[in-house]
């Protein structure tokens, strides 16, 4: 993780590699959901991002637009990133699967959890995204995304908020999915926000630490020492 900032040529190379992979994903029909989807939802963001956010899979709005994390959950994710000083376009955002997993209930189409086989079929695409982008930190959003990295025994209520070793030795943090946060109310919402904010601060601190390792410099004066970000109003 001691890699320095990529050159313009390296950035262009990663953009080309991601574009080629996106075309491969668009042509994929390994699963039935590949035929039922409206659009693939490959991912978006900085190809040289220091932070990669990984969710479970596309929902209805993502399937319609081809973009990850849109709608209310996407708005909250953008605010969460802003709370630690990051713009959405500075990170890379994607999901464990690239097509909407759904089922029909009468005339309605409902979201469902991906099957183990769907996760297995799509995993090489996620692995290649990680290998191309080479983020300094991965933030897994929600239990399904965490389980895709850490195994089916992962329990988010007991095991979130700590560091794990992700692919290629990349530090991996797990927090609650923005959609889960939005479903809470009352004291449960207050507690969930507190836990998410603690996780975000840990991510901020790790990114700051890694940035300092990449660019060694004389220690700042005591008055210039960075402090942790203030808790934003949304949390």
In a domain, 216, yes or no: no
In a domain, 71, yes or no: yes
In a domain, 114, yes or no: yes
In a domain, 190, yes or no: yes
**Total number of domains in the chain:** 1
In a domain, 197, yes or no: yes
CA of residue 178 relative to chain centroid, distance: 11
What pLDDT was estimated at residue 217? 60
Please give the backbone phi and psi of residue 135, each rounded to the nearest 5 degrees, phi first: -65, 160
How far is Cα 175 from Cα 147, in angstroms, rounded to an integer?
A: 12
**What percent of the chain stands above pLDDT 90?**
86
Contacts of 73-80 with C-beta under 8 Å, sequence gap 24+, read 73/177, 73/178, 73/179, 73/182, 74/178, 76/178, 76/181, 76/182, 76/234, 77/53, 77/141, 77/178, 79/232, 79/234, 80/178, 80/196, 80/200, 80/234
pLDDT per position as a tens digit, 31-70: 999 999 999 999 999 999 999 999 999 999 999 999 999 9
pLDDT per position as a tens digit, 74-131: 999 999 999 999 999 999 999 999 999 999 999 999 999 999 999 999 999 999 999 9
User: Would you say 164 and 172 are in contact if contact means Cβ atoms under 8 Å apart?
Assistant: yes
In a domain, 152, yes or no: yes
Q: Is the pLDDT of residue 215 over 90?
A: no
Residue 138, domain CATH: 3.40.470.10
Q: Is the pLDDT of residue 225 over 60?
A: no
Q: Which domain does 151 fall in, by range?
A: 31-211
In a domain, 16, yes or no: no
**What percent of the chain stands above pLDDT 70?**
89
pLDDT per position as a tens digit, 93-103: 999 999 999 99
What pLDDT was estimated at residue 90? 98
Q: pLDDT tier at 5 (50, 70, 90 boundaries)?
A: confident
- The residue behind tokens 């979130």 is 160
DSSP designation for 38: S
Q: pLDDT tier at 1 (50, 70, 90 boundaries)?
A: very low
What average pLDDT does the structure give for the chain? 92
Q: Is the pLDDT of residue 222 over 80?
A: no
In a domain, 174, yes or no: yes
Per the model's pLDDT, the better-predicted residue between 214 and 156 turns out to be: 156
């Amino acid at each position: 993780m001691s890699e320095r900032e990529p050159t313009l040529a390296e950035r262009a190379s990663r953009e080309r590699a991601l574009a080629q992979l996106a075309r491969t994903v668009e042509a994929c029909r390994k699963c039935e959901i590949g035929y039922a989807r409206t659009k693939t939802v490959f991912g978006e963001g900085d190809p040289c991002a220091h932070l990669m956010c990984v969710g479970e899979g596309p929902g209805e709005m993502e399937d319609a637009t081809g973009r990850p994390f849109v709608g209310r959950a996407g708005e909250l994710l953008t605010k969460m990133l802003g709370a630690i000083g990051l713009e959405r376009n500075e990170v890379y955002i994607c999901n464990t699967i690239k097509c909407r997993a759904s089922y029909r209930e009468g005339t309605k189409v409902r979201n469902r959890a991906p099957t183990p086989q769907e996760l297995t079929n799509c995993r090489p695409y996620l692995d290649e995204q990680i290998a191309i982008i080479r983020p300094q930190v991965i933030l897994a959003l929600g239990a399904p995304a965490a389980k895709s990295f850490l195994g089916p025994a992962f329990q988010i209520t007991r095991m979130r908020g700590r560091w794990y070793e992700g692919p290629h030795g990349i530090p991996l943090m797990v927090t609650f999915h923005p959609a889960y946060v939005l479903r809470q109310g009352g004291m449960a919402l207050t507690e969930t926000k507190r836990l998410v904010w603690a996780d975000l601060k840990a991510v901020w601190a790790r990114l700051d630490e890694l940035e300092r390792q990449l660019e060694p410099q004389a220690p700042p004066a005591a008055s210039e020492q960075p402090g942790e970000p203030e808790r934003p109003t949304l949390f």
